[in-house]
């Protein structure tokens, strides 16, 4: 892509528009959460008839990228709509809910026979509702000698099986794809980012703080979310939750996993993907060096903030302290010093009940709240 010519198509209800034929912009956040964030699409000067015919639950599909390399970044439905006139121009702001969230909110009541396995149950439940399963690999493929009853909200049933019983990850992307992976795995499609193919230097990188590892991984800036590393690139539809990316720049070199981010774009203005990254040390990672990088990253931030950041996979006294405090609030956790699926779920529940960001990470704000529990 020698000239990085922007290209995008927007499907809104039964209408399809190109970026050249219609002025529209978008803001699509993505993160590993049990409450997928809504996206916003803003369109200028739709016809009066089209504005009048946009209805709640109309389908929305957005493909974006560059000439010759365009991919899907959103599939969903209209859940909110606002039209505003400014002189002769009309602006329509459309709130879009990713489609998988609606499907996963449906009710299920099904009983599986003796000796059914978790993987077969999960695939069947998702297939019933037509959810695309891009990957299904469980850390533990539990067998149910007496069968299993699946009753309730589909997402809650799947979370119970995948996360609680099989110690695995349940990921829903804004494109409607569902990934079920082993707890320490990411989704690797060979994505590589460098300045030559669109990696941008972050405005936060005013002071570089080196971490001494073989990967030469570094963390920079003081306002980023917990212990993540902030980076941006020219809009890249391949970047999504749990994607493993290889980053190579003057001050960052290694393999990382995408924790969260957002795609933003307009016909003239930003056209980029922002990412929050963590050094990756899963089974598809780079072994001891990546593990050292991840540990060094967490410890570096913790030292600067005066707390030990606890996230999924963390081990040690800080985790045991979190578990002990959470148990005072009724969590009922085993105090083993290991932050597994049950601990993460208890943290998210606690964060939700206390007006904190529900990301399962015990950083400064969550620590402040926990320590007040006594």
Instruction: List, for residues 322-374, the tens digit of each pLDDT value.
Output: 888 999 898 888 888 888 778 888 898 899 899 988 888 888 888 888 888 86
Beta-carbon contacts of residue 351 (< 8 Å; ≥ 6 apart):
357, 358, 359, 360, 366
Do 201 and 177 fall into the same domain?
A: no
Do 191 and 285 fall into the same domain?
A: yes
Listed residues 152, 182, 212: the one ending a domain: 182
Q: Specify if 170 maps to a domain.
A: yes
Q: Specify if 248 maps to a domain.
A: yes
- Asked whether the whole model's pTM tops 0.75, one would answer no
Rounded to an integer, what distance in angstroms lies between the CA atom of residue 40 and that of residue 30? 12
Do 147 and 90 fall into the same domain?
A: no
pLDDT of residue 207: 32
Closest by CA to 362, choosing from 328, 316, 319, 327, is 319
- Strand-pair partners of 65: 7, 70
Secondary structure letter of residue 310 according to DSSP: B
pLDDT of residue 183: 77
Burial class (CB in 10 A: 0-12, 13-18, 19+), 203: exposed
pLDDT of residue 318: 79
Do 192 and 292 fall into the same domain?
A: yes
What spatial distance separates the first Cα and last Cα of the chain, rounded to whole Å? 57
Do 329 and 257 fall into the same domain?
A: no
Instruction: List, for residues 258-315, the tens digit of each pLDDT value.
Output: 989 999 999 888 899 999 998 887 554 433 334 344 343 334 333 334 456 888 777 7
Q: Which residues span the domain enclosing 325? A: 317-371
Are 168 and 181 in contact by the 8 Å Cβ rule? The answer is: yes
Q: Specify if 311 maps to a domain.
A: no
Do 280 and 327 fall into the same domain?
A: no
Rounded to an integer, what distance in angstroms lies between the CA atom of residue 298 and that of residue 317? 15
Do 132 and 177 fall into the same domain?
A: yes
Do 169 and 259 fall into the same domain?
A: no
Q: Specify if 130 maps to a domain.
A: yes
Q: Specify if 1 maps to a domain.
A: no
Q: Specify if 312 maps to a domain.
A: no
Q: Specify if 310 maps to a domain.
A: no
Instruction: List, for residues 138-177, the tens digit of each pLDDT value.
Output: 999 999 999 999 999 888 899 889 988 998 888 888 887 8
Q: Which pLDDT band, with edges at 50, 70 and 90, does 202 fall under?
A: low
Do 219 and 254 fall into the same domain?
A: yes
Do 252 and 339 fall into the same domain?
A: no
Listed residues 118, 149, 182: the one ending a domain: 182
pLDDT of residue 92: 95
Report CA-CA distances (Å) from 206 to 162, 223, 231.
41, 12, 13
User: Looking at residue 178, which CATH number applies to its domain?
Assistant: 3.55.50.10
Instruction: List, for residues 240-263, the tens digit of each pLDDT value.
Output: 988 999 998 877 888 999 989 999
Do 211 and 258 fall into the same domain?
A: yes
User: Looking at residue 61, which CATH number applies to its domain?
Assistant: 2.30.300.10
Please count the structural domains in the chain. Answer: 4
Q: Specify if 293 maps to a domain.
A: yes
User: Looking at residue 193, which CATH number applies to its domain?
Assistant: 2.40.30
User: Looking at residue 329, which CATH number applies to its domain?
Assistant: 1.10.101.10
pLDDT of residue 177: 81
Do 290 and 327 fall into the same domain?
A: no
Listed residues 160, 182, 204: the one ending a domain: 182
Q: Which pLDDT band, with edges at 50, 70 and 90, does 89 fall under?
A: very high
Q: How far is CA 100 from the centre of its chain?
A: 14
């Amino acid at each position: 892509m020698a000239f990085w010519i922007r290209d995008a198509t927007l499907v809104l209800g039964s209408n399809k528009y190109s970026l050249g034929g219609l002025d529209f912009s978008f803001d699509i956040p993505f993160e590993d959460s049990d409450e997928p964030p809504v996206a916003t699409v803003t369109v200028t000067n739709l016809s009066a008839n089209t504005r009048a015919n946009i209805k709640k639950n109309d389908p929305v599909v957005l493909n974006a990228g560059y000439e010759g390399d365009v991919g899907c970044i959103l599939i969903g439905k209209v859940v909110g709509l606002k039209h505003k006139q400014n002189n002769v121009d009309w602006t329509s702001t459309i709130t879009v809910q990713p489609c998988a969230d609606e499907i996963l909110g449906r009710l299920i009541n099904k009983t599986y026979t003796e000796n059914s396995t978790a993987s077969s149950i999960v695939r069947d439940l998702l297939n019933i509702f037509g959810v695309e399963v891009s990957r299904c690999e469980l850390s533990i493929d539990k067998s149910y000698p007496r069968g299993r009853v699946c009753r309730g909200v589909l997402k809650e049933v799947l979370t119970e099986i995948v996360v609680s019983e099989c110690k695995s990850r349940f990921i829903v992307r804004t494109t409607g794809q569902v990934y079920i992976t082993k707890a320490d795995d990411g989704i690797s499609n060979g994505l590589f980012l460098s300045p030559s193919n669109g990696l941008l230097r972050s405005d936060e990188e005013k002071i570089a703080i080196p971490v001494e590892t073989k990967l030469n991984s570094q963390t920079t800036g003081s306002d980023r979310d917990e212990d993540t590393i902030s980076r941006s690139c020219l809009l890249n539809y391949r970047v999504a939750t749990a994607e493993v990316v290889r980053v190579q720049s003057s001050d960052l070199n290694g393999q990382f996993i995408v924790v969260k981010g957002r795609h933003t774009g307009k016909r003239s203005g930003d056209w980029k993907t922002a990412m929050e990254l963590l050094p990756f040390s899963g089974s598809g990672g780079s072994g001891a060096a990546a593990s050292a990088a991840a540990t060094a990253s967490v410890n570096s931030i913790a030292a600067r903030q005066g707390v030990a950041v606890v996230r999924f996979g963390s081990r040690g006294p800080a985790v045991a302290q979190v578990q002990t405090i959470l148990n005072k609030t009724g969590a009922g956790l085993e105090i083993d010093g290991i932050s597994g699926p049950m601990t993460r779920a208890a943290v998210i529940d606690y964060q939700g009940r206390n007006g904190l960001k529900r990301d399962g990470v015990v950083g400064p704000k969550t620590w402040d709240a926990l320590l007040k529990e006594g």
